[in-house]
Amino acid sequence: MSSSCSPTADSTFPCHQCGLCCQNVHLSRETQFLDRGDGTCRHYASDTRTCAIYADRPDICRVDRMYATRYVRLYSWSEFVALNLQACAALAALPGPGGQPEGKAVFRK
């Protein structure tokens, strides 16, 4: 990846680590392959509420990589972040368990 395609170092996606994207992979064609059968990702560790393969998670789970490889010519980084945050808000607005954040970090720092 060339540096010209990468977000700048200070442009980290503002993930609030709610875990809703990991618990609703059935809602996107691009993440359905991760569905363990109930809409939650097969790599989502329910006991610790974290990603069990975080270091090796697929590109679709990496906002910065998806931007650099697919969307850099379509959006600015701030526009792309805003679009992703709209998706976060839509997940949070879902009724029932899918829209109820579990309140713990999904991603290990």
Span interacting with ligand SF4, options 9-17, 38-46, 72-80, 82-90, rule CB under 6 A: 38-46
58 or 99: whose CB is closer to ligand SF4?
58
How far is residue 109's CA from residue 92's CA, in Å, rounded to a whole number? 22
Total residues contacting ligand SF4 by CB under 6 A comes to: 11
Distances (CA, A) of 78 to 71, 72, 83, 88: 12, 11, 9, 15
Please give the full DSSP string across 93-104, using - where no structure is assigned.
Answer: T-SSGGGS--SS
81, HSE (Cβ side, Cα atoms, 13 Å): 13
76 or 97: whose CB is closer to ligand SF4?
97
**Shortest CB 27 distance to ligand SF4, Å:** 11
Chain residues binding ligand SF4 by CB under 6 A are 22, 25, 34, 41, 43-44, 51, 53, 57-58, 61
